[in-house]
Structure 1
């Protein structure tokens, strides 16, 4: 068969375009070393707060026998809903992700701080339940329940709870019945911005659907006349004949807090405690050294020996009241006084060290989840559940083979229509050094492979190998408010390059090793744009390998 010159030219052009549409790179290891900015030297018998450092917000905990399980929000990171296990409440190991299959949830087109909000984990009659909100998710999913007989998974496909609107649902089991408490808009017209209400509805455990209509049990908050904002994150517990309702109040910023109500009847009326809030840091001097801020969104758990503890979220800002690493999970004991719980009296600071719960000693986790630590992933086994990407991949974009992580390019970062070839791990310390070795030879201008430190699709830093005007180069780009800027570049001849990111609060430095020589690419870079205060949203920085193809005409 004969082809014309024009047709042959067109076929060759299509072939070149197809080759340019994807690119792959090999990453030979990933190393992380982190140091907390705050001084924390625990004595024998003490533990360090936070118990989960870095981007682990909205904790929910449950106890089954001698085992404790904890889950956090994960927004549009996938796999999502990280599951933690402990036997002493302070030493935690990630055992899986409850959302680990693409058919469970679709984050297509969703931004970083949409997706999975404020999950709650509970256990009843041999079954584990997670109920959560999927904000702006694809399809009719809003609030859903997943179940498992083993908390490590597999977890079921989501069951949408029809008619359950709002956010932050949790399940409370009481005398054979199941109840949902959640946050939603008040009945009628809100009186002010941030006016919310807490609702109670019975749940049918057989169908995982509502029985009856949601009933308001708290309207506004502790002092309705003062127009309290954002009553949310509700949890119910029962003690000494009372039903206690604990909620977050004040918004997720510096005015965050935890408050308590109680009632003799599960349906109310719920009266606020004589002392509220039962946890906050909003009344403290903002100039205090090494502050803990935004404390709230708590859940209680009772140990097998009868003690009560609370997990909650809080932040550890660097100077300037900024934090890049997101919201941590903290732990404090709960004291009961005259029938009311207290986590921390107003005016007191959240301690970084305090006595451990009276539970059997547990061996240290590898790697730890708090304190100063380091680890290296040699890519000699399947990735641990700590590795997460952005949005839901429909086809695999990475594989582990022969001691390397191999990534094939997807959609570029910032393109919400697809999934980027990015997979990373949480930055858990403001003072952190991350490195990898990339083996990559770019073929076209615009192709790149290297490390990304990502807060969201519009705020990230890229350090890696690319091609600039036909020449292979090590490059440093920042993307702030969606605008990309080339900060530095240097020619490189080797295909194998070590990349090093150093984060120090709101400043950073970048270097590379090529041909046996370590060179600085750029130092003292302002990365406060990676802070939640500037980038906005609810997540924290995730750092990891990334590959991007050249743009096709």
Structure 2
């Protein structure tokens, strides 16, 4: 059915003008912005000072906003998913043969008629997925909480993640952070975070973990089978907060429940429980937490923090590994790169698993699994460490690192022999609607992001350029617009004083420019210091607006759960007035 629906949609696009999310697709009467190329270059000091030796690889394995990882395995194939919030497509998915070298497969929820975050705040949408392979029916299951379109908790299935996924199936339970587990006898169970029973909340942040039996034939939880298996956390007398992100495992006949605890900030941790039955009683390990960074000095070198929200997998040579989220703050302790996906080996030689070196300050590199070659940033594998990504938009298939926000990128882009055309929507970056912006995640503290733009606005409502965005109310816009008969380059800061106030927009600087040739635009940062520069001759760059703070691009200032996104942007709803 899904393939038929997509085919009909495609026919509709071909035979008539289509509207998706209320926007006219690639309106040919509009004035497209031509982006001739784009270059992202990361140059973090940690990777310059700590280069890789033979037999080593870097962690995080996914840099930038790829939080809440979950992982599964079929044979020698590993699949990993992450949160995407209102980014589109939803739930990015990656494949590996060895846990070191990963390829990007795009997004699981890639049909906007089935997952449509068009009116979602950037930190809403969809998050905290689980992914599990069921050997009893040779099927992969991805389960997730979707805060868009009234979906709630959903599950999708496939026989082969390389070939796409089925349609979302709504599940009849509340709460968040679900994951699914299949026992040796073929029975299915779902565990998730939820609120305590009505009237039993003891303190702010008090949560519980529930389990349901799962009906595989009808893809639903079995009514009345739910049970609270963890109340509060490891020790409820200590008022632990936000027990969440549960995953269930079975080893040597016993059941292990691993959860995050402490909230997804500087008290984040990973804890584990054990039981003789999937439905409990679950006893916490005496050595909890088994992963955290909360006990160490705030000024430690190459700081990694907020570690937690993990999942376990048996890797090469039967060595266990754990993937988890953590952050790499800058010198102002801000997290502009967002929550990233890290990996560590796990020692499960004893009764309980323990993340190796997960209870000391995390290091930026690890020893390779025996027999594995580091191929990152080669042959289509995802890069990490310092790297340069150059895009001339010549390929028929746009790299999956380029994403949309609140809707598919295909609705406003078109590749041509000259470069990428963006057909502007009549929405601007401050609106909680799909915007005609092609985004790339910030992946380093020190980076540059540049593009060559060929564009002449026709009116003051037209603007094209680049953006650095944490959310709709916390961003910088750097672009070309028009005032009277003149063209201007403008830099605007949009700041949300609080979630209940209006966005404050401030034109930091503007300058009249000559548009005889394409203009080069560049965003660069060194930690918290961001600069916006331009070149009219292709060589000499000039600064506009001086050095500005990246504070509004960080979670601790802007709120929410995402990192900074760097975008190629065009709009017919510009409200920036040059000064």
1:122-521 aligned within 5 A = 122-124=132-134, 125-135=137-147, 137-139=148-150, 141-162=151-172, 164-174=173-183, 175-189=185-199, 190-213=201-224, 214-344=226-356, 348-361=360-373, 363-365=375-377, 366=380, 368-381=382-395, 382-393=397-408, 396-410=411-425, 411-416=427-432, 418-481=433-496, 482-494=503-515, 496-516=518-538, 517-521=540-544
Q: Is the 8 A contact 2:68 2:341 kept in 1?
A: yes
Q: CA RMSD in A?
A: 1.9
> Once the 2 structures are TM-superposed, how far is the Cα of residue 386 of structure 1 from its aligned partner?
1.5
2:571 is matched with which residue?
548
State TM-score, norm by structure 1: 0.92
Equivalents in 2 of 1:349, 1:201: separation in Å? Answer: 37
Q: Is the 8 A contact 2:457 2:480 kept in 1?
A: yes
Equivalents in 2 of 1:305, 1:470: separation in Å? Answer: 68
Equivalents in 1 of 2:149, 2:420: separation in Å? Answer: 30
CA gap of 1:551–1:313, structure 2 versus 1, over 3 A, is: closer
2:37 is matched with which residue?
29
2:558 is matched with which residue?
535
1:11 is matched with which residue?
none
Equivalents in 2 of 1:211, 1:524: separation in Å? Answer: 58
> Once the 2 structures are TM-superposed, how far is the Cα of residue 266 of structure 1 from its aligned partner?
1.0
Q: Is the 8 A contact 1:280 1:296 kept in 2?
A: yes
CA offsets per residue over residues 404-447 of structure 1, 9 Å max, x none?
1111111111222x311011111111111011111111111142
Q: How many residues align?
A: 530
Q: Is the 8 A contact 1:87 1:359 kept in 2?
A: no
CA offsets per residue over residues 484-513 of structure 1, 9 Å max, x none?
211122221125111111111111111111
Equivalents in 2 of 1:402, 1:286: separation in Å? Answer: 50
Equivalent position SS for 2:163: coil
Q: Is the 8 A contact 2:72 2:131 kept in 1?
A: yes
Aligned with residue 125 of structure 2, among 115, 118, 129: 115
State TM-score, norm by structure 2: 0.88
CA gap of 1:431–1:362, structure 2 versus 1, over 3 A, is: closer
Q: Is the 8 A contact 1:280 1:344 kept in 2?
A: no
CA gap of 1:27–1:551, structure 2 versus 1, over 3 A, is: closer
> Once the 2 structures are TM-superposed, how far is the Cα of residue 394 of structure 1 from its aligned partner?
10
Return 5+ residue gaps in structure 2 as ranges.
Answer: 1-26, 497-502
> Once the 2 structures are TM-superposed, how far is the Cα of residue 345 of structure 1 from its aligned partner?
6.0
2:9 is matched with which residue?
none
Return 5+ residue gaps in structure 1 as ranges.
Answer: 1-18
CA gap of 1:202–1:324, structure 2 versus 1, over 3 A, is: same
Q: Is the 8 A contact 1:97 1:152 kept in 2?
A: no
